[in-house]
Structure 1
Amino acid sequence: MMNHQLTLRTMLERAEKIFPAKEIVSRTLSGIFRYTYADYASRTRRLSSALESLGIKKGDRVGTFAWNNHRHLEAYFAIPCMGAVLHTINIRLSSEHIAYIANHAEDKVLLIDEDLVPIIEKIKDQLKTVTAYVIMTDKPELPATSLSPVYSYEQLLAQSDDGYQYPDLDEQTPMGMCYTSATTGNPKGVVYTHRSTYMHSMTLGLADTMALSESDTVMPIVPMFHVNAWGMPFASVWFGSKQVLPGQAPTPDVLLDLIEQEKVTITAGVPTVWLGVLQLLEKGDRTRNVSSLRAVVCGGSAAPRGIIQTYEEKYGIPFLHAYGMTESSPVVTVSRLKSYQQDLPYEQKLDIRAKQGLLVPGLEARVYGQNGDVKWDGQEMGELWLRGPWIADEYYKDERSKETFVDGWYHSGDVAVIDSEGTIKLVDRTKDLVKSGGEWISSVDLENALMAHPAVFEASVIGVPHPKWDERPLAFVVLKEAYKGKVEKEEFFSYLQERFAKWWVPDDVVFIEEIPKSSVGKFLKRTLRDQYVDYLTKS
C-alpha cells in the first residue's frame, strides 16, 4: 500500500476542488457574511502567505483569540497546512490563565477578534514570546489599540498570495493545541497531529457517530476555542458541508434565528446551551420552524434525560448525546440505539440514549475498578481508561503527564459503568462522587433526575462533610421563573425518594439564582463546595 500521509492539506484541497460553490455563512459584528469554499480556500492560502511574511515557520505556534466566524475558520487550515501549530485560546479564561497558556505555548503571533482586543491589551506586558498582533475586523481601519506591532487581518490578506503552495508534511507533524479549562492549577496543553485530526474528522462522518456529510448544514455552537468545536469545522470543510458560524456571544434567540433562516441540519453545544434554547422555546413568544434539524448534539457534561425527552416529544428535535474531552480530540462515545433496540418502548430507549453511549470505532476503552476491569453489568463502577489514534499520550511540557498517561492508557478521571451491550454511562468525576457511610452516591444521577422535574431549570449536587456519614449530598436548584416562590424543597425530597434509595436523597435542597459555570459552560462544583463546605456541620 502507498505510504500516503494523512494531512490537513488534502482535506482543504478536496473542499477547494470538489465543493467550490458550497456556502459558508458567518455572523459578524457587521452582519451576516457569506462566501463559498472557493473564496474560503483563496483567503486561507492568503493567510498562510501573510503569516509567512510575519516570520512564521514550521513548528511555530500561532494563537487565535476569536469567536466562531469565517476568519477563525480560515486560521483552522491556514496555520496547520503551512506546518505551523494552531493554538486556539479560550477567551473566557482568567487573564492570568490566558497569559500563562500563551507563554507556555510560546505563541509567536496572535490573531484577535476586534471586540476581544481589550482583553489582550490588559496582559500584553506579560506576553513574552508574541512578536505580532493581527486584529480581525470588518472595518477598513484598525481600532485604536496599545498593542504593537499590530496589523490588519484584511490588509494583510489583500497584500498576500492566493496561490500559496503548501509543503508536504509528515502526518505526525503537530497541527494544533488546546489547553484544558483548569478546574485546579494551571491549564494543561494537549497537542494534536495532522494524523489524529484527520482520523477524528473521518470518524465524525460515520453513520453511527454524527454522520456529517455534504448534504448537512452544520452549526457548531460549541466554541472554536474549545477542543476545536469538537472537530466539526475540520470535518465539515473536508466533506463539503455548508457551515453556519454563529459569531460573537450568540444568544438562544440568535441561534434559533440561524437554525430557521439557514435550515441548519445539525448543531452542537453543551447542556447549558440547550437549557437556554429550551427556555426560549417554552416561552412561546413566537413560532419557530426547527424542522430542518436532524440532530442536536449535546456534550461537555451529561445531558439530563428530561431535556432529551422534551426536545424530542414536544418539539420533534432529535437529540444526540456524545462524550469526550480535550485529551481525546474530543469525541469518545456517541449514544445511538442498535438496530434491535429500535422497537423497544420509548422509555427504555430514552434510558439507553441518556447514557454516554457506545465507544466510537477506532478507540479502545477499559473501565477499571478496585479489583481490575469491572463487570459489564451496568452496576460496578470504575475509572474510564482510553487509548487510540486521536487520544493524547502526554500533556505539553507538563510534569502532570505521568499521573494521567500510564502504560499506554489515558486515565480520564471519569467514573463510569458499562452494561452488557457495551454502553458506557458516566457516573461522576472521581472528585465529585459522594462517599456516604462507605457507599458511593452519583451526583450526576441525582442532577439528571432533578432537572427532569418540570419546575427545575438547573440543578447541581455536591458532597459536603458530615459528622456521622463522612459526606452527604447537598442539592442546589434553580427554579424556572413560573415556579419561583411556588415550590418548596419538600417537593424535591418526595420526588427523589420515588426514584432512589432513601440514603441517596440529599440532606437539603438549596434554592439559588444561578449555578456557577466554567468558561465552557460546565457547572463549577468546586465553587459550590468552597461556599458550602460547612453547610451540614453548622445546620
Structure 2
Amino acid sequence: MDGLMQPRPLTTAHILERAERLYAHKEVVTAGGERLTYAGVAANVRRLATALDTLEVPEGARVATFASNSRRHLELYLGVPATKRVLHSINIRLSAEHLEYIVGHAEDDVVFVDRGLLPRIWPSARRLPGVRYWVVLPDGTDTPLPDDARVLDYDSLVSGAEPFAGSFEEAFTLADENLASGLCYTSGTTGPPKGVLYSHRSTVLHCLGTLAAGLIGLCESDVVLPIVPMFHANAWGLPYGAMMAGASLVLPGASADPAHLLGLMAAERVTVAGAVPTVWTSLAPGLRDHDLSATRFLLGGGSAVPPALSETYRAAIGVPITHSWGMTEISPVGAIGGTRTQHRALAEDEQVSVRAAQGQPLPLVNVRIVDVETGRELPRDGEAVGELQVAGPWVAGGYFRVDAAASFTADGWLRTGDLATLGPDGYLRLVDRMKDLIKSGGEWISSVELEAAIASHPDVVEVAVIGRPDPRWMERPVAYVVQRPGGTATADELLAHITPMVAKWWLPDEFVFRTALPKTGTGKLAKSELREAQRIA
C-alpha cells in the first residue's frame, strides 16, 4: 500500500525561495565590503533566469563557473539549477590540459568567469569552440577584456533582463527531482578527471544533512564563512545549507591572506567557518590578535587535521577544528567528527584522540569496511582495517559519460579508495590510501601523472613520486629520479620541463637523484621503501 503524501519534488528552487520569503533581511557579505540582502540576491537571480533564456541556454545545458567565493557566484549557484540547467563549477587551479578536457567533456554552453581569472582561461578559449559565451563577473580588478563578441559583462547582462515573475519551485512541481542540478569533476588522480553529476534530490538531502543538530548543525542564528572555495565540491554544502537555515553568509573572495580572513571572522561575528588544514595552519599565529568569541564551530576537511593544530585552536579560542570526511562523489560530506556524550568522561588525551578521527556518518549515509582481497565485510571493532565503502542518497552511483564500473560494488556501494577502521559506535578513522595519491593543501596530486611528466624528459629513465609530510601543506611531492648514463639534467631543468604539463601545486618540492630505485619481487617500484627512508630521515 502506498502512502498518501504529496509527491512534491525535492529541488534547489526551494532553497532559493525559502530564503527569499523567510529570510529576506539576512545579508550576504562579500570581500570588499559589499552587502546585499537575500531579497536582493533573489531579485538578481530572477533577472539571471531570464538572461539565461535570452542567451538561449537550453534546459539541461551545462553552465560553467570559473570563479572565487562571491555574491555573484552564489547567484549562479541558485539561478542555474533553479532554471533546470546544470551548474558546473570548475577548479581554478587546474592545468590548461585538464581545464580544456573538463570543459570539452562537459560540453559547457556558457562559462562565467571572474574578471581577474580571465587570463588563466582565455588562452584556452580558441580550443573550446563549444562555449558560446564567456560572461565576466566583476571582482574589483581591471583586467583587460578581449575584444570578442562572445565576451559579456555579468552585471550588464543581469540588470538589463526582466525578472522572472513566477515561482521557481512551482515550475518544478511536475518535474523529476532526479534532474541534474550540479556537476563537479574529480582531480583526475587515476586517469582523466571524472564528472560527478548531482541531482536536485541529492543536493537538497545533503543540504538538510548540514542542518543536522550535533553535527554541523547550521541554524538561523549562524553567520557562515565558507573559506573552502565554491569551486571545490560545492563548498562542502555550506552556501546551500546556510540559505536553507536562514543563516547569514560571508564570502571571502579570492584572497586567502590570514589577516583578511581573520578580519572577516572578527568583523562579521562569524559563527561557523570551513577550510582545509592548510588555511587553518596559516591563520593560527593570528588567533589571539582578533576577537573570535562568536565562533562556535570550525570545520576542517580535504585532508586530515593534525591533532596539534586542532588543539591550538581549542587553546586559543575555545573551539577545536572539527574533522569532516567526504569526497566529490559524496556531495561531499559523509562524516563529521568531534566528541559525543559518551566521551565526556574520558581523559583529556583520550578526547584528543577521538577528535582526531573522521567521525560518524551523517544521517542517511551508510559506511562499511571490507576485506580488500575477499570483499567480505569486516567487523566494526576499531581494529580491523579494510576498504571504506559508502552508500546513500547523496552518494554517486556512476560518473558522467564514463564507464567506471570498478569504482562501485555489485550491490551499488561506492569504493572510496581509502583504508579505514570503524568503531562500534560508527566512528570512522582513515588509516591509509589504497592508491599512491598525494594530498597537498586539500587537493589531490596524482603520482602516476607526475611521474609520467618527469619521465618524458630525455635524461630520465626511472622515476618514483611519493608524498612527504609537510607542516603547512600536510603532504608535498618528492621525486626520486634515475637518469640515463651520461644524463646531466638538474632539478631546475626537470622543474622547468614539467611546469607546462601539470598544475602549479603539483610541482615537486625536491628531486632526489639515485643510481637505482628499490623494486619489489615482481619488479614493481617499492615506494614503501622510499617512504620508510623519508620517515627515518
Q: TM-score range by the shorter chain?
A: 0.7 to 0.9
What is the letter of the counterpart of residue 14 of structure 1? R
CA shift for structure 1 position 158: 1.2
What is the letter of the counterpart of residue 306 of structure 1? A
Are 1:322 and 2:324 an aligned pair?
yes
**In structure 1, C-alpha distance between the alignment counterparts of 2:246 and 2:306, rounded to whole Å:** 33
What is the letter of the counterpart of residue 222 of structure 1? V
Q: Among 188, 192, 202, which residue is 2:194 paired with?
A: 188
CA shift for structure 1 position 403: 3.6
**In structure 1, C-alpha distance between the alignment counterparts of 2:133 and 2:81, rounded to whole Å:** 18
Q: Among 404, 425, 429, which residue is 1:421 paired with?
A: 425
SS at match of 1:51: helix
Q: 1:209 to 1:140 in 2, by over 3 A?
A: closer
Q: Among 232, 242, 249, which residue is 1:236 paired with?
A: 242
Are 1:47 and 2:48 an aligned pair?
yes
SS at match of 1:107: coil
Q: Among 273, 276, 295, which residue is 1:270 paired with?
A: 276
Are 1:209 and 2:215 an aligned pair?
yes
**In structure 2, C-alpha distance between the alignment counterparts of 1:385 and 1:11, rounded to whole Å:** 30
| Equivalent residues of 2:112, 2:134 under 8 A apart | yes
Q: 1:421 to 1:142 in 2, by over 3 A?
A: closer
Equivalent position of 1:455 in the other structure: none
CA shift for structure 1 position 363: 1.1
Equivalent position of 1:102 in the other structure: 103
| Equivalent residues of 1:121, 1:147 under 8 A apart | no
Q: How does 1:279-428 map to 2 (within 5 A)?
A: 279-281=285-287, 287-369=289-371, 370-371=373-374, 372-404=376-408, 406-428=410-432
What is the letter of the counterpart of residue 154 of structure 2? Y
| Equivalent residues of 1:65, 1:88 under 8 A apart | yes
**In structure 1, C-alpha distance between the alignment counterparts of 2:231 and 2:409, rounded to whole Å:** 24
SS at match of 2:420: strand
Equivalent position of 1:127 in the other structure: 128
Equivalent position of 1:117 in the other structure: 118
Measured against aligned partners, the alpha-carbon deviations of 1:193-235 in whole angstroms (never above 9, x if no partner) come to 0000000000100112200011000000110000110111111
Measured against aligned partners, the alpha-carbon deviations of 1:41-97 in whole angstroms (never above 9, x if no partner) come to 000111111111001121011000100000000000100000000000110000111
| Equivalent residues of 2:116, 2:142 under 8 A apart | no
Q: 1:416 to 1:140 in 2, by over 3 A?
A: closer
Measured against aligned partners, the alpha-carbon deviations of 1:147-205 in whole angstroms (never above 9, x if no partner) come to 54111101111111223433223211100000011224211100000000000000100
Q: 1:396 to 1:103 in 2, by over 3 A?
A: same
**In structure 2, C-alpha distance between the alignment counterparts of 1:108 and 1:230, rounded to whole Å:** 25
| Equivalent residues of 1:230, 1:330 under 8 A apart | yes
What is the letter of the counterpart of residue 136 of structure 2? I
Q: 1:122 to 1:17 in 2, by over 3 A?
A: same
CA shift for structure 1 position 382: 0.5
Q: 1:522 to 1:231 in 2, by over 3 A?
A: farther
What is the letter of the counterpart of residue 352 of structure 2? L
| Equivalent residues of 2:336, 2:362 under 8 A apart | yes
SS at match of 1:83: coil
Q: Among 172, 177, 181, which residue is 1:171 paired with?
A: 177
**In structure 1, C-alpha distance between the alignment counterparts of 2:282 and 2:140, rounded to whole Å:** 32
Aligned residues: 460
| Equivalent residues of 2:311, 2:320 under 8 A apart | no
Equivalent position of 1:510 in the other structure: none
Q: 1:379 to 1:401 in 2, by over 3 A?
A: same
Equivalent position of 1:22 in the other structure: 26
| Equivalent residues of 1:171, 1:195 under 8 A apart | yes
Q: 1:162 to 1:353 in 2, by over 3 A?
A: same
Are 1:249 and 2:249 an aligned pair?
no
Are 1:11 and 2:15 an aligned pair?
yes
Measured against aligned partners, the alpha-carbon deviations of 1:246-283 in whole angstroms (never above 9, x if no partner) come to 001321111100000000000001111111111444xx
Equivalent position of 1:431 in the other structure: 435
Q: 1:11 to 1:92 in 2, by over 3 A?
A: same
**In structure 2, C-alpha distance between the alignment counterparts of 1:535 and 1:527, rounded to whole Å:** 18
**In structure 2, C-alpha distance between the alignment counterparts of 1:402 and 1:479, rounded to whole Å:** 35
CA shift for structure 1 position 335: 0.9
Are 1:149 and 2:156 an aligned pair?
no
**In structure 2, C-alpha distance between the alignment counterparts of 1:405 and 1:46, rounded to whole Å:** 44
CA shift for structure 1 position 532: 7.4
What is the letter of the counterpart of residue 283 of structure 2? V
RMSD: 3.0
What is the letter of the counterpart of residue 195 of structure 1? R
Give the stretch that moved more between structures: 3-12 or 83-92. Answer: 3-12
What is the letter of the counterpart of residue 179 of structure 2? T
Q: 1:432 to 1:139 in 2, by over 3 A?
A: closer
**In structure 2, C-alpha distance between the alignment counterparts of 1:311 and 1:290, rounded to whole Å:** 11
Give the stretch that moved more between structures: 135-144 or 90-99. Answer: 135-144
**In structure 2, C-alpha distance between the alignment counterparts of 1:342 and 1:32, rounded to whole Å:** 42
Q: 1:97 to 1:423 in 2, by over 3 A?
A: same
What is the letter of the counterpart of residue 202 of structure 2? S
**In structure 2, C-alpha distance between the alignment counterparts of 1:25 and 1:104, rounded to whole Å:** 34
Equivalent position of 1:59 in the other structure: 60
Give the stretch that moved more between structures: 271-280 or 173-182. Answer: 271-280
| Equivalent residues of 1:7, 1:170 under 8 A apart | no
What is the letter of the counterpart of residue 6 of structure 2? M
Q: 1:522 to 1:118 in 2, by over 3 A?
A: closer
Q: How does 1:437-448 map to 2 (within 5 A)?
A: none
CA shift for structure 1 position 475: 8.1
Provide the identity percentage: 38
Equivalent position of 1:162 in the other structure: 163
SS at match of 1:237: helix
Give the stretch that moved more between structures: 424-433 or 9-18. Answer: 424-433
Give the stretch that moved more between structures: 244-253 or 79-88. Answer: 244-253
| Equivalent residues of 2:116, 2:143 under 8 A apart | no
Unaligned stretches of 5+ in structure 1? Answer: 434-442, 448-459, 463-471, 481-520
CA shift for structure 1 position 337: 2.1
Normalising by structure 1, report the TM-score: 0.80
SS at match of 1:224: coil
**In structure 1, C-alpha distance between the alignment counterparts of 2:56 and 2:278, rounded to whole Å:** 41
**In structure 2, C-alpha distance between the alignment counterparts of 1:186 and 1:101, rounded to whole Å:** 9
Equivalent position of 1:483 in the other structure: none
Q: 1:85 to 1:530 in 2, by over 3 A?
A: farther
**In structure 1, C-alpha distance between the alignment counterparts of 2:504 and 2:136, rounded to whole Å:** 29
| Equivalent residues of 2:368, 2:422 under 8 A apart | no
**In structure 1, C-alpha distance between the alignment counterparts of 2:304 and 2:339, rounded to whole Å:** 17
Measured against aligned partners, the alpha-carbon deviations of 1:482-505 in whole angstroms (never above 9, x if no partner) come to xxxxxxxxxxxxxxxxxxxxxxxx
Q: 1:140 to 1:88 in 2, by over 3 A?
A: closer
| Equivalent residues of 1:301, 1:522 under 8 A apart | no
